[in-house]
Amino acid sequence: MRGIAASSEDIEALAQISDPPRIMSFVLTIVYILVTPGMLAPNDISWFSLQQFYSHGDSVLRRLRKCSELKDSPNFDMKCAMLAPFLQQESFTSDPLFQPESLASSSVGLAALCTWMLDVMNGKDKDSIELMNQLDEEVVNQQEAELGWLLHQGTWICHSLEYTIILALSHRTKNLIVDIAAQAPGDSRLRVELTVSEVCDIFGMDVASAFSYQDWVSMCDLIVARLDMLAAMDVVGH
């Protein structure tokens, strides 16, 4: 680790500090999360818990070695990718002076742990971007699975209120899903699934014809236009 070696006593000395500086607390917390088995962070990452953990230097060093052997596993890669944004957000981690060698003058144990952390996390910012993209894609896929094939999404104004309108095709029934939700908190939401005949009754024969021929662009444009007409008629009625 860049020539920085720490003994169990060096590690245990960190646990004796009652009020650690921020950079020390940060490094020890990240290392503690990394060596904890599984993908999830420990339930308790208070300084008291960290003191308990680092007070056993031999155990910490064994955990570091074991973790290093498993660092290429998918679960560990996922954990590192999830932690990478926290390192990027900390201002001192982008400071050229944030180097283990500069920490060694105050604590060899801290410098060694910092070296290990940086070695393990090296390149994980790219993994983090890939992970976020993967999660975004999974969210989109989940939404599509719940709603259907998205045909149209936009805004619609009615009585000076802004609504989000989504038109989709049901995966299961191949019916048209109309989802209209107001942007104002607490307002209602309309979500209906319509057959071709129901589309014809509500929006007209031309809309139903476009639906039948799968002319989705024309169908969606006509539906939004009919909603505007219905809203205008409602205003006149008021």
Whether the per-residue pLDDT at 71 is higher than 80: the answer is: no
Residue type, 83: L
Give the tokens for residue 200.
Answer: 């014809």
Spatial contact of 11 and 54, defined as CB atoms under 8 Å apart = yes
d(CA 77, CA 82): 9
Whether the per-residue pLDDT at 79 is higher than 90: the answer is: no
Mean residue pLDDT across the chain: 77
Q: Which residue would you say has higher pLDDT here, 32 or 202?
A: 32
* Strands, sheet with 149-158, edge to edge from the N-terminal-most edge strand: 149-158, 161-169, 176-182, 189-194
pLDDT in tens, 164-193: 888 988 877 889 988 887 765 555 567 788
d(CA 151, CA 157): 19
Of the candidates 57, 185, 187, the one whose C-alpha atom is nearest the C-alpha of residue 110 is: 57
Mean pLDDT of the region 3-15: 87
Of the candidates 54, 59, 52, the one whose C-alpha atom is nearest the C-alpha of residue 28 is: 54
pLDDT in tens, 207-217: 999 999 889 99
pLDDT in tens, 89-108: 665 666 655 677 778 878 89
Give the tokens for residue 133.
Answer: 């993209």
SS3 192: strand
